[in-house]
Amino acid sequence: MANDIETYGADNPLFLNNVVSCIGGREENQDSCSISETRRGLLVIVCDGMGGMTGGAIASAEAVKVIRDYVSKPVSEDDIEDDNKSTLIQAVSSANAALLAIQENNPGLRGMGTTVTVLLINEEKATVAYVGDSRIYQIRKGRKIFRTFDHSMVFEMVKKKIITEEQARLSAQSNIILRAVGLKPDLDVDAFDLPYDKGDLFLLCTDGVWGTMSEKDLIKRVSERQHPKVVTETLAMNIHNDALRAGGKHDNLTAALVKTTKDSKLRSKMEDKIKKAFCVCLILLIVSVVTNVTLCCKLRRVTKEEKTPIEKVDGTVEKLDSTKSKRVPNQG
């Protein structure tokens, strides 16, 4: 591994993981990242800083620290059951307040900020939160089933169907973001709870990664059936080397990858609907079968009774059939 690429992971048998970060063709790496174990689950953070001088690096590093400390702080058993989505929103909001306070005390750092992507995953579910244009993907069997929507000017145009996502990626204005941590007191943080299946991949990456290739190509590269460490290191090396051959002016790049080894306890709403529909159909089928069996039994009993001779008081036998009655002399 090249000296300018940092790589590490946390030892977790349930969620195989690794993160890589590379300075690229810049003088300073303004990306920051972290993978750590908490009582709430495995916590993964990827941030892309922005701002003149050292502001971007300070912003991203401070955001990672504040979010990690907030989620990792000691909690009671009851608090662990709290909504992880609310926890992540509060953690990112705390990072926003911390960056604003730093700028207030250091005028030279005013204007700094950072994107934020966070994944908190445990046996129950995966919870993600983000601000800016760094992305979170959930990939299953080589297909995207979830992706965050960039808080950027070009993606607002995508939302309005003015341009395509690929045109947005290649646009010269793709770096204009509409939300970032550290820019203003009021911050909207998008967060989601996600179920997952065994073998699902969660990719957190900066625009230095997703901006270098089509989404189809990116998903294909990270879906290789290898450990996340191998996949992320190969991805970073290929992007870095390709960019060096093209002139070496490329952006910082950071990617974290988590692979699940079992299904989450939380299931999707669609799965719940399918299960409920299946149960209803099964109940209806059982009721139908029982009803039909009951009717058949009754019909057979009636038919048998109709065919049984009935001896009458006058010494004749009345034999009933399905069409008419006959009186037959008693031979006895």
pLDDT, one tens digit per residue, over 68-90 is: 999 999 876 666 556 999 999 99
Q: In what order do the strands lie in the sheet with 190-194?
A: 31-38, 41-50, 113-121, 126-131, 190-194
pLDDT at residue 77 in the model: 63
Q: Please say if the pLDDT value at position 314 is more than 60.
A: no
Provide the percentage of residues in the chain whose pLDDT is more than 70: 83
Q: Are residues 203 and 310 in the same domain?
A: no
Q: What mean pLDDT is reported for the chain?
A: 88
- For residue 120, give the amino acid letter: L
What are the tens digits of pLDDT across the range 176-209? 999 999 999 999 999 999 999 999 999 999 999 9
| Average pLDDT value for residue range 36-56 | 92
Q: Are residues 239 and 311 in the same domain?
A: no
| Average pLDDT value for residue range 53-66 | 94
pLDDT at residue 222 in the model: 98
**Number of residues that make up the chain:** 332
Q: Are residues 258 and 286 in the same domain?
A: no
Name residues whose C-beta falls within 8 Å of residue 149's C-beta, 6 or more positions apart in sequence.
Answer: 155, 159, 190
Confidence of residue 326 (pLDDT cuts 50, 70, 90): very low
Name residues whose C-beta falls within 8 Å of residue 327's C-beta, 6 or more positions apart in sequence.
Answer: 316, 317, 318
pLDDT at residue 291 in the model: 77
Q: Are residues 252 and 319 in the same domain?
A: no
Q: Which residue among 265, 285, 316 closes a domain?
A: 265
Instruction: Please give the structure tokens belonging to residue 123.
Output: 């046996």
Long-range contacts of 219-227 (CB under 8 A, 24+ apart): 219/137, 219/139, 219/142, 219/143, 219/144, 220/142, 222/137, 222/139, 222/255, 222/257, 223/139, 223/141, 223/142, 227/16, 227/18, 227/259
Q: In what order do the strands lie in the sheet with 5-8?
A: 5-8, 15-22, 253-260, 201-205, 135-140, 143-147
CA 174 from centre of chain: 24
| Average pLDDT value for residue range 271-277 | 53
Q: Are residues 316 and 233 in the same domain?
A: no
| Average pLDDT value for residue range 214-220 | 98
pLDDT at residue 289 in the model: 74
User: Of residues 223 and 286, which shows the higher confidence score?
Assistant: 223
Q: Are residues 135 and 277 in the same domain?
A: no
Q: Are residues 172 and 243 in the same domain?
A: yes
Structural domains of the chain, count: 2
From CA 321, how far away is CA 99, in angstroms rounded? 95
Q: Are residues 281 and 254 in the same domain?
A: no
Q: Are residues 164 and 285 in the same domain?
A: no
Confidence of residue 232 (pLDDT cuts 50, 70, 90): very high
Provide the percentage of residues in the chain whose pLDDT is more than 90: 73
Of the listed ranges 34-43, 68-77, 119-128, 149-158, the least confidently predicted one is 68-77
| Average pLDDT value for residue range 14-19 | 98
Q: Are residues 172 and 310 in the same domain?
A: no
CATH number of the domain at 161, please. 3.60.40.10
pTM listed for this prediction: 0.81
Q: Are residues 208 and 287 in the same domain?
A: no
pLDDT at residue 328 in the model: 43
Q: Please say if the pLDDT value at position 2 is more than 70.
A: no
Q: Which residue among 238, 265, 292 closes a domain?
A: 265
Q: Are residues 257 and 284 in the same domain?
A: no
Name the residue range of residue 188's domain: 5-265
Confidence of residue 283 (pLDDT cuts 50, 70, 90): confident
Q: Which residue among 223, 241, 265 closes a domain?
A: 265
